[in-house]
């Protein structure tokens, strides 16, 4: 689950903590917010930033059942 947490200190500093975003896409997600907040004074990258994003694909194979009548035209294994 992706989360953005903001801690606002009494002196006006804002700390942003991002979790659940794998790879460098974190910078893309937070760019607009950071532009509105002002100058980024410090950036500390977590292990999630260096992790490889996992892509999963799903495929389905459909087999049609051949009835005995349909199979009569096939040659027999010997």
Query: Range of 18's domain?
Result: 1-51
What's the mean pLDDT when you consider all of the chain? 75
Residue 72: pLDDT above 70?
A: no
Would 25 be classed as within a structural domain? yes
Would 23 be classed as within a structural domain? yes
Would 77 be classed as within a structural domain? no
Q: CB-side exposure of 28: number of CA atoms within 13 Å?
A: 6
Number of C-beta neighbours around residue 21 at 10 A? 20
Would 17 be classed as within a structural domain? yes
pTM tops 0.75, yes or no: no
pLDDT band at 22 (very low <50, low <70, confident <90, very high): confident
Residue 42: pLDDT above 80?
A: yes
Q: Does residue 22 contact residue 46 with C-beta atoms inside 8 Å? A: no
Spell out the alpha helix ranges (H) of 1-78: 25-37, 47-50, 68-71
Structural domains counted in the chain: 1
Would 15 be classed as within a structural domain? yes
**Looking at residue 64, what is its pLDDT?**
57
């Amino acid at each position: 689950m992706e989360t953005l947490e903001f801690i606002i200190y009494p002196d006006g500093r804002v700390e942003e903590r991002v979790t659940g975003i794998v790879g460098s896409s974190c910078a893309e997600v937070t760019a607009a917010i950071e532009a509105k907040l002002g100058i980024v004074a410090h950036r500390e990258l977590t292990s999630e930033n260096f992790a490889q994003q996992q892509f999963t694909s799903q495929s389905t194979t459909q087999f049609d059942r051949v009835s005995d009548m349909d199979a009569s035209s096939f040659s027999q294994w010997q």
